[in-house]
């Protein structure tokens, strides 16, 4: 077992939990309740919310799989690149829209995943 990839899987599962349960209450529910949004943007955003939920679940499962299957490094590379891209975007966006990292910490959540995958692939 690759302990670094397994750790990345656990961290990703935690991010999935934060997104699904905490974010669901503070982001998805207010979005659904908003009556001042046009129908298509509102429900497209809600769809995107669930795409992220599914993506996080697949990332966690994929990293868990790669932790136990040595020939699955390509899966770990792909997921590590996704985590790095999500992190970079998540660190740039709040500054561009003048929102604090306390309000939008997503970029920081993906940093450990990208880092753990990088360490796993190096060692």
Q: Per-domain residue ranges for the chain?
A: 3-122
* Model confidence at 13: pLDDT above 90: yes
pTM: 0.93
Over residues 32-50, the mean pLDDT reads 96
Beta carbons within 10 angstroms of residue 105's beta carbon: 14
Query: What's the confidence (pLDDT) of residue 77?
Result: 98
* Model confidence at 123: pLDDT above 90: no
Short-list 77, 72, 90, CA closest to 117 = 77
Query: Residue 34 — very low, low, confident or very high, per pLDDT cuts 50/70/90?
Result: very high
Dist. CA 6–CA 42, nearest whole Å: 36
Dist. CA 11–CA 92, nearest whole Å: 22
Task: Read off the tokens for 66.
Answer: 């790669």
């Amino acid at each position: 077992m690759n302990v670094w990839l397994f750790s990345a899987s656990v961290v990703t599962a935690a991010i999935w939990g934060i997104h699904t349960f905490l974010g669901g209450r503070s982001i998805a529910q207010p979005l659904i309740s908003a009556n001042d949004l046009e129908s298509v943007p509102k429900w497209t955003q809600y769809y995107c919310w669930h795409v992220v939920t599914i993506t996080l679940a697949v990332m966690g499962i994929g990293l868990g799989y790669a932790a136990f299957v040595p020939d699955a490094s390509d899966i770990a590379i792909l997921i590590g690149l996704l985590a790095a891209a999500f992190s970079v975007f998540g660190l740039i966006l709040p500054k561009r829209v003048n929102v604090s990292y306390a309000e939008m910490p997503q970029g920081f959540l993906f940093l450990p995943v990208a880092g753990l995958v990088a360490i796993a692939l190096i060692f």
